[in-house]
Amino acid sequence: MLGERLGPDNRIADPQIVGSWRRCLEQYRLDPGHAHPRPRLSAAELKALREPLDELLNQPVPALTRLRRSAFEAGYNLLLTDAQGVVVASYQDADASPELARKGMAPGSVWTEALVGTNGLGTCLATGQPITVYAGEHFDAGLHPFSCSTAPLFAGDGSLLGAIDISTYAQGSKVRQQLALGLVQQTADELEALLFRRHHADALLVAVSARGPVAEPTALLALDEGGRVRGLTTALLRLLSFHQRGSLLGMPVSELLGVGIEPLLASRPESPCPLGLCHWQAWRLAPAFRAIPAVNTSREPDPLAQAAGEDPGLLRQAAICRRMVDKGISILIQGETGTGKEVWARALHNSSARRDKPFVTLNCAAIPESLIESELFGYGAGSFTGALRGGKVGKIAASSGGTLFLDEIGDMPLALQTRLLRVLAEQEVTPVGELRPVPVELNVICATHRELTGLVAEGRFREDLYYRISALKVALPPLRERQDRRALIRRLLAELADGTVPSLGAEVEQRLLGYAWPGNIRQLKSVLQYALAMADEETIGPEHLPDEVTGPGLAPSREEEARPPLAAVREQQERQLLLDTLEQHQWIITRTAEALGISRATLHRKINRHGLVSPNKGGR
């Protein structure tokens, strides 16, 4: 079947490409004879997705600058995506930009393998491996003129952060693209090393090389004070021929490199430590540079007080929380969507003795059920079809010593609740597909917009886990009930304004104070951003506000009144609502989920439950 689809003129031997085509045909049910349009997210949607990569995009990074220069000189265009395959940055040749934009290479374009078929970005992210997809190897015939060389980009904690791609018009043979693939892989290694050194700035950092000290090492190892492995880069995994990153965490360095911590502590680039592996050497790295904060003669700001604002109830909650941090007491944050649960969790973390350690987040409602387990616990190499060759560090292991924030804990499947309970009790985690548990120093903060006691009564949430995570319950009020709305609006306006802060007209301020704010603080920020963009004067007037807040008082808008909430409708009504909204948004999952007020993972589950199928069968 696969050979028939590829045809006699497409003799594809690369196993990565063959595997991708199989997934496209058998798993995604894509048709190579049809075009596969690539949706493009709006600027507002793209802004949120750029945040994890801001560290690389908002400041000069020599490795990225070198790649841009080399790519442009050789006639390539450079793309950077997030882990979901959305282009967050695009650096294009001005002459080729219009056509490339039409081909979906502009920021906001979505390049997942399940949507577009075999392509450099999507297939790289699906496998976690560098790849060149050349001409007819692309699943979509519209991409046959191109050659794309892509490498995965990993964060400092070993998690997949995105991908880097350089693309050009296919000329000659695929063999000529090996230099391009090597260039993009080297850049990905250098960027990962940069993020790794910053992430593990408080650890003992060691560089390893098979040819002696180098100026910009990428094969790096992070050790704790006891000489045990805290992390290692992808370049070091390749150098040591290891494929299971997660299984190496906690291993003594003497077991990994054959030398103890003492000679490594004494080593320097000018006097490296020999490893006994041919001519391999290791040396200690200086701590990564950290910008020196400006001198602040006033008292350090209190993170919890900042999160509480001037609301009396929240200030009382902050006072209680201050007494609970570092006491080993579990905290459950409850509140409607958009009330700032993650902001409060970060304030708790920044108020604790763990403030300099990782703060790792996982939204249990934003990830499909089939992926939550591997995201949370990690997995070893080859644990399942589609797994990264080197395995993956789970969120639990990545947060060890710091804080793990589990948002929307009420959406966690029951089977995983049992595993989480065991991890909390035993303080060790066993990655999927592994036998040896990894010790962790786990501190968990959970949050939900659901009523967990009701879920417990219905048998959908474990009672013992509920009591384990909720020794202290912090209830965040909806924005409409906060007593400091005026001060909060003015503070957010000052934070969002670029330069001079405009004033609010009396009518505008009354409308903002009287509006119901179903989306809470998240919606308020969007409204203020809209008003700032629309206002050219020094005062924001009613004409500068979006239509959603121009209705009278606390009454909901007509659209909200006409559309019943998803959780309240019966099955047949829910199915029709889903279908109508999906068609309205061209089956783009992100926009449909946002319109319905639910997560993408929940939307996928409801689509499957109701047996709804995309018209193009592209899984969008």
Query: What's the whole-number mean pLDDT along residues 183-193?
Result: 95
Question: Exposed/middle/buried for 312, CB within 10 Å: 0-12, 13-18, 19+?
Answer: exposed
Residue pLDDT, tens place only, 116-127: 999 999 999 999
Under DSSP, is residue 143 helix (H, G, I), strand (E, B) or coil? helix
Residue 382 pLDDT level (bands cut at 50, 70, 90): low
Of 63, 269, 25, the residue nearest 164 (C-alpha): 63
Q: How confident is the model at residue 156 (pLDDT cuts 50, 70, 90)?
A: confident
Q: Where in the chain is the domain with CATH 1.10.8.60?
A: 479-556
The answer for residues whose C-beta is within 8 angstroms of residue 215's C-beta and 6 or more apart is none
Average pLDDT over residues 174-200: 91
Ranking 395-409, 575-589, 606-620 by mean pLDDT, the lowest is 606-620
| Tokens 């010790």 sit on residue | 439
Instruction: Give the residue-averaged pLDDT of 574-596.
Output: 80
Place of tokens 């190897």: 137
Question: What is the CATH number that goes with domain 304-475?
Answer: 3.40.50.300
Distance, CA of 401 to CA of 398 (rounded, Å): 9
Give me the sign of the Cα torsion angle 57, 181, 218, 237.
Answer: positive
- Where b means 16+ CB within 10 Å and e means fewer, 524-554 reads bbbbbbbbbeebeeeebeeebbeebbebeee
Q: Evaluate whether 232 touches 208 at the Cβ level (below 8 Å).
A: no
- Average the pLDDT over 219-230 and give the result: 89
Q: Helix crossing, 520-534 with 506-514: angle to 10°?
A: 160
Nearest to residue 563, comparing CAs of 593, 596, 530? Answer: 596
pLDDT tens-digit series, residues 306-332: 899 888 889 888 888 988 888 888 999
pLDDT in tens, 6-16: 444 456 678 99
* Dihedral sign computed on CA atoms, order 495, 499, 505, 507: negative
Q: Which parts of 304-394 are beta strand (E)?
A: 331-334, 359-363
pLDDT in tens, 61-76: 888 888 888 887 887 8
Whose tokens are 């320097």? That residue is: 268
3-state secondary structure of 252: strand
Handedness of CA 396, 401, 405, 409 (dihedral sign): positive
Q: Is the pLDDT of residue 5 over 50?
A: no
The pLDDT tens digits of the residues spanning 296-305 come to 333 457 899 8
Residue 547 or 585, more confident:
547
Q: How confident is the model at residue 489 (pLDDT cuts 50, 70, 90)?
A: very high
Rounded to whole angstroms, the Cα distance separating 114 from 36 reads: 10
State the CATH architecture for 479-556.
Orthogonal Bundle (1.10)
Cα dihedral 153, 156, 160, 165, rounded to 10, equals: -10
- Provide mean pLDDT across the span 395-406: 91
Domain with CATH 3.40.50.300 in the chain: 304-475
How many residues appear in the chain? 620
pLDDT at residue 166, rounded to an integer:
92
pLDDT of residue 183: 93
Q: How far apart are CA 442 and CA 431, in angstroms?
A: 15
Helical (H) or strand (E) element with 372: helix 369-377
Q: How far apart are CA 253 and CA 136, in angstroms?
A: 46
> Is 288's pLDDT higher than 70?
no
Percent of the chain with pLDDT over 90: 30
Beta strands 331-334; 472-475: pairing state: parallel
Among residues 293, 291, 274, the alpha carbon closest in space to that of 283 is found at 274
Pick from 277, 284, 195: nearest CA to 240: 277
d(CA 68, CA 54): 17
The DSSP symbol for 32 reads T
Superfamily assignment of 2-196 in CATH? GAF domain (3.30.450.40)
The CA distance from 521 to 572, in Å, is: 33
Q: Is the pLDDT of residue 613 over 80?
A: no
Query: What residues form DSSP beta bridges with 283?
Result: 207
Q: Report the mean per-residue pLDDT for the chain.
A: 82
pLDDT of residue 193: 94
Range with the poorest average pLDDT among 101-105, 540-544, 548-552: 101-105
Distance (Å, rounded) from C-alpha 544 to C-alpha 533? 8
Check whether 527 has a pLDDT greater than 80: yes
* pLDDT for residue 568 is more than 50: no
Phi, psi for residue 428 in degrees, rounded to 5: -155, 150
**458: three-class secondary structure by DSSP:** coil
**Where does the chain hold its CATH 3.30.450.40 domain(s)?**
2-196
Q: CB 330: neighbour CB atoms within 10 A? A: 17
Rg, Å, the chain Cα set: 26
Alpha carbon distances (Å) from 112 to 19, 57, 121, 273? 15, 21, 7, 44
DSSP state of 593: H
618 has a pLDDT exceeding 50: no
At 507, list the tokens.
Answer: 């009518």
